Amino acid sequence: MAKESTKKAVVLMSGGLDSTTVVGLLLQRGFKVFPLSINYGQRHKAELESMKAIVKYYQDAKTSIEDVMELNLTDIAKIGGSALTDQKIAVPENKEIGKDIPITYVPGRNTIFLALALAYAEVKDCKVVGIGVNNLDYSGYPDCRPDYIQAMIGVAKLSSKRAVEGRPILIEAPLISMDKKTIIEVGMKCNPKVPYHLTWSCYNPKHKLTGGYEPCGKCDSCVLRAKGFREAGHLDMALKEEKSQAPTSTQA
């Protein structure tokens, strides 16, 4: 059995609020973080820009974080079945979160993401794979439920070379029982603070007349984010920054 010299973790990163909190929590626990970003043809490419800004923030803060490993796997969108990857399906504006499986659900997404993260963790000899799923806000998604994550933990215990050597990779989903309010509160207490002003949540961004993107404010993800900041009693500085840079265009 090989010794663990450094605590290392792959974190599935999207540029969103949840995965950035997982990065912050693992850095605080002394892990060296290997961010993994997967472009599977989702619409919200603004996330990718956010993610790079977040990594730079942590690198400037002298924490132990590697450059992001970006996998361009846009052919995954050929599988279809979701508004997030199929341009022909419209992203709906929020009606009732958590009642049914939303059209923004991407079949198999977390299984694909965790599989790739486990592979990357195996090659980088990481002990942990971190993922930002939470079951309270996304109860409609089959692959955000605790029993699903538990099943993937079981796979991780068996699937790698590390597993054969008796040091299996551990999947951690530290946000699984938190709502957005709690996540924001936890992240604000991290040292360094989780840079929520750099995170991106919107499923349906609009091009700004002045360049870049602005969130739609109406999709499930925007609604959950706004509710989280309101309940946590914090201003969403990402929106504030948007507003202070330039007057936003009205929605097309």
Question: Could you list the residues that contact a copy of itself (CB under 8 A)?
Answer: 69, 71-73, 75-76, 78-81, 101, 105-112, 114-116, 118-120, 122-123, 142-143, 145, 147-148, 151-152, 154-155, 157-161, 163-164
> Rounded to the nearest whole angstrom, what is the least distance from the CB of residue 82 to a copy of itself in the complex?
9
Provide the 3-class DSSP secondary structure of residue 26.
Answer: helix
> Rounded to the nearest whole angstrom, what is the least distance from the CB of residue 163 to a copy of itself in the complex?
6
Q: CB–CB of 179/228 below 8 Å?
A: yes
> Rounded to the nearest whole angstrom, what is the least distance from the CB of residue 169 to a copy of itself in the complex?
10
Q: Select 148 or 196, whichever has its Cβ closest to a copy of itself.
A: 148
Q: Select 73 or 209, whichever has its Cβ closest to a copy of itself.
A: 73
Q: Which residue has the tokens 């626990």?
A: 29
- Apex 51 CA angle, 48 and 53, nearest 5: 115
> Rounded to the nearest whole angstrom, what is the least distance from the CB of residue 42 to a copy of itself in the complex?
14
Q: Select 72 or 249, whichever has its Cβ closest to a copy of itself.
A: 72
> Rounded to the nearest whole angstrom, what is the least distance from the CB of residue 36 to a copy of itself in the complex?
9
Token pair recorded at residue 13: 């990163």
Could you tell me the maximum CA-CA distance found in the chain, to the nearest angstrom?
Answer: 60
Q: Select 26 or 68, whichever has its Cβ closest to a copy of itself.
A: 68
Q: What are phi and psi of 60, to 5 degrees?
A: -65, -30
Residue 181 DSSP class: H
> Rounded to the nearest whole angstrom, what is the least distance from the CB of residue 113 to a copy of itself in the complex?
8
Strand partners, 39: 72
Q: Select 28 or 159, whichever has its Cβ closest to a copy of itself.
A: 159
* CA atoms within 13 Å, Cβ hemisphere of 250: 0
Nearest CA to 192 among 41, 62, 15? 62
Q: Select 69 or 237, whichever has its Cβ closest to a copy of itself.
A: 69
Nearest CA to 129 among 113, 145, 141? 113
